[in-house]
Structure 1
């Protein structure tokens, strides 16, 4: 197994062995930034911890399979941190739309699609 395959496998295992909690359903507004509307379900992996101390963030697309399709790596200039957002069941178009959402403010992101 290559290092890259091992990386994706570790993330697959994390997603498969964690409950996805959706705390911001598709169409809902951000609690602090009313103009931000979530285009897809957004939440976190229960029992995990990201750099901000909360659970690892997850976007869930429209595909039925609960397979991880990519990542978005974000840097937030305002709060001076970075995070990953796991993309589960997202089409290429959905991933691009989510990326655009992350690049629309002080936060900047980069999409890493699973090959």
Structure 2
């Protein structure tokens, strides 16, 4: 019951927001040039996350803009924790994004996949 409400609210939020891709696939991080984004990465316009910026979103290759999963991240360097939405991502893309966020000792993430029935 609660799972359905959570995923439906996220779906409504994404459906009523513009996804701004400010770090396209294959580009380098603005402060860390050796960190290359494996997929399109950006944020939802008009939203606010814990860091005061828009809610982060990864955009996969699937044409349907369905939220497939979220990442819950912890970053000791920035001293924060966030969620990141995975939208239109295949299973392989989800694992690629998870590995991207687990690449350093100061940063880690867990993947929470959306149940198939919701």
- 1:64-79 paired onto structure 2 within 5 Å: 64-79=63-78
- 1:1-115 paired onto structure 2 within 5 Å: 2-105=1-104, 106-115=106-115
Aligned counterparts of 2:40 and 2:78: Cα–Cα separation in 1: 24
- Count matched residues: 114
Runs of 4+ aligned residues of structure 1 deviating over 4 Å after TM superposition are: none
Query: TM-score w.r.t. structure 1 length?
Result: 0.97
Q: Per-residue deviation at 1:28?
A: 0.4
Aligned counterparts of 2:102 and 2:33: Cα–Cα separation in 1: 17
RMSD (Å), alpha carbons: 0.5
Q: Per-residue deviation at 1:80?
A: 1.3
Q: Per-residue deviation at 1:78?
A: 1.2
Aligned counterparts of 2:77 and 2:35: Cα–Cα separation in 1: 17
